[in-house]
Chains A and B, each alone.
Chain A
Amino acid sequence: MSFEHRALQVAFTAPRSSSFAEFLATAAPAALPSMNVIADPGIHAPHGTTIVALRGDFGAVMAGDRRATMGNVIAQRDIEKVFEADRHSLIGIAGTAGLAIELVRLFQVELEHYEKIEGVPLSLDGKANRLASLLRGNLGLALQGLSVVPLFAGYDIDRGRGRIFSYDVTGGRYEEHDFYAVGSGSFFARGSLKKLYRPDASADLAIDTALEALYDAADDDSATAGPDMARRIFPIVGIATADGVRMLDTDEVEARVAPLVARRMTRPNGPFAAQPEEGSSS
């Protein structure tokens, strides 16, 4: 690669912005994802499916199922699609898995790079905007059918609460209230979240709600996986709070998923949403 050298080249010492992606574009453009790929519109590449996120005063929770599909085939049953972006934020990805995972890697370095160069981390809005511009770099491939759809959530230290940002393939950035889902099962997940989401929820309840929503997505979307009890493959769950990001380990998720599956044995469609009592005005 072009940076295989002994002394630091001019590019390394040139005054420039604190962005890693912008630096890479000058110093080693070939290392940037999607700069050196010409897509065939008929290409078959694995696709990641459903990601859900919920926010509250405690912070934000993000969870993703583990399936990647290629047409009607399950390409991978234990893919990870939810990641720690930095100490206070999470990123989840749906769409073309290869490009999406590369985008996550670049985004993680981008945030850390800024923090190291400037000595302070970016604001949550700043992070969300950087992700939008990285996504725009993939626009050419998105138009050929290789789209990447991330979901970004984190704890905003300045505002003292969790926030969620969604994106479209052109890099459009939208802040979501309360909850959101992306990927093929997102319609079902959002329907589920609509009924189950509680703005005053604790982090614990928010995690359980996310798992319920993923179960509902898997129930109706063939590209989304439900919990695989036999292989112990469960959704990846991350939580961002004032104390930082924590990814739940397998045992922790299993302890939440097992009772959920047991409840569904008697009530396959999940919990009843509370409705006003008949005759009551509230």
Chain B
Amino acid sequence: MSMPFYVSPEQIIKDKADYARKGIARGRSVIVVEYDEGILFVAENPSRALHKISEIYDRIAFAAVGKYNEFENLRVAGVRLADMRGYSYDRRDVSGRSLANAYAQTLGTIFTETPKPYEVEIVVAEVGQTSDGDQLYRLTFDGSVADEHGYVAMGGSADAITLALSTEWREGLTIVQAVRLAVDLLGKHGGEGERHLGPGELEVAVLERSLPRRTFSRISRSRLAELLG
């Protein structure tokens, strides 16, 4: 007769966290940066159909790395939550903060209560009326939330990119400067050795501050080629 092994809670949590981190580290990176007229999202993603960056609501967008089916599930849930709140109350009552809270609770519950944690990391970004109102929330697989300022990097090379951003990002970048900075850093740190990333390998979108209602738009590959010069 076999005896069940005793595994300490600390060990279980650690194993789950290691597992999730490994899964996330395998993926290509995503960079989110604030620029003078809004918030920019740049992902290394050759697919035109499977997005890592998406619209959630008028002034809120979502970016993710990790396992596609898992973050897609979270994205759809976020759109449903936002649309339901906006429909039941008012469009102005949908906030990035409440969405980040809901995601945090959900990821936290999944991490502690299910055998397999989600291998995802997500950013919920809300563009304000002025740059002071911009909000970036970074959520990790265990449900922890960090309120970031200015820039966020996620994915395999997040640490190296974040370090570079801490010296190279400044307030008031133009869209051209911001796109070039992000693409440059993804090329430098995003893979093995230094690479040159073209429009065909990138997914880029913005939340544009001055637009009246839906501020999210994707930057087409031809427009991206122009921006990269």
Q: Which residues from chain A sit less than 8 Å from chain B, CB to CB?
A: 1, 3, 5-8, 11-13, 20, 23-24, 27-28, 31, 105-106, 109, 112-113, 116-117, 119
Q: A12-B77, A13-B77 are in contact. Are A112 and B83 (CB under 8 A)?
A: yes
Interface size on B, residues (CB 8 A): 27
B208 interface residue per 8 A CB criterion: no
Q: Is B76 in the interface zone, CB < 8 Å from A?
A: yes
CB <8 Å contact, B84 and A7 = no
Q: Which stretch from B101-109, B181-189, B191-199 is at the chain A interface? A: B101-109
A112, chain B: closest CB distance, angstroms: 7
Residue of B49, B74, B79 with most partner-chain A CB within 10 A: B79
Q: Is the CB of A3 within 8 A of B51?
A: no
Q: How far is the CB of B65 from chain A (nearest CB, A)?
A: 18
List, in ascending order, chain B residues with CB within 8 A of A24's CB: 84, 87
How would residues 206 to 220 of chain B score, 1 for a CB under 8 Å from any chain A CB and 0 otherwise?
000000001000000
Q: Cβ of A8: which chain B residues have Cβ within 8 Å of it?
A: 77-78, 81, 102-103, 105-106
- Which residues of A lie under 8 Å from residue B87 when comparing CB positions? 20, 24, 31, 105-106, 109
Nearest first, the 8 closest Cβ-Cβ pairs linking A and B are: A7-B105, A12-B77, A6-B105, A8-B106, A8-B77, A7-B106, A13-B77, A116-B79
| Cβ contact of A1, chosen from B88, B102, B105, B214, cutoff 8 A | B88
A119 and B88 contacting across the interface, CB-CB below 8 Å: no
Compute how far the CA of A112 lies from the CA of B77 in the bound complex, rounded to whole angstroms: 15
By the criterion CB–CB under 8 Å, are B55 and A116 in contact?
yes
User: Which residues of the other chain, A, contact B51 by a CB distance below 8 angstroms?
Assistant: 119
Partner of A28, one of B49, B84, B102, B214: B84
Interface SS of A by simple majority: helix
Residues 63-87 of B, flagged 1 when their CB comes within 8 A of A and 0 if not, give 0000000000110111111011111
Q: Which residue of B lies closest to A12 (CB)?
A: B77
CB distance from B113 to the nearest CB of A (A): 11
Cα A28 to Cα B214 in complex, Å, equals: 25
Whole-angstrom CA separation of A75 from B56 in the bound complex: 38
With contact pairs A6-B101, A119-B51 given, residues A109 and B106 touching in the complex (Cβ less than 8 Å): no
Q: Which residues of A contact B135 (CB under 8 A)?
A: none
Considering only CB atoms, which chain B residue lies closest to A106 in the complex? B87
How far is B49's CA from A13's CA once the two chains are assembled, in angstroms?
21
Determine whether B54 belongs to the interface, using a CB cutoff of 8 Å to chain A: yes
A141 → chain B closest CB, angstroms: 19
> Which residues from chain A contact B54 at a C-beta distance below 8 Å?
116, 119
**What is the CA–CA distance of A6 and B107 in the complex, to the nearest angstrom?**
12
Of B49, B78, B80, B86, chain A has the most CB atoms within 10 Å of the CB of B80
Which residues of A have CB within 8 Å of B86? 109
Contacts of A116 in B (CB 8 A): 54-56, 79, 83
Q: How far is the CB of A24 from chain B (nearest CB, A)?
A: 7
Contacts of A28 in B (CB 8 A): 84, 88
B85 cross-chain contacts in A, Cβ below 8 A:
3
With the chains together, A250 CA to B103 CA distance in Å? Answer: 43
A-B contact pairs, 28 of them (CB 8 A): A1-B88, A3-B85, A6-B101, A7-B102, A7-B109, A8-B81, A8-B102, A8-B103, A8-B105, A8-B106, A12-B80, A13-B76, A13-B106, A20-B87, A23-B84, A27-B80, A28-B84, A28-B88, A31-B84, A31-B87, A105-B87, A109-B86, A112-B214, A113-B79, A116-B55, A116-B79, A116-B83, A119-B51
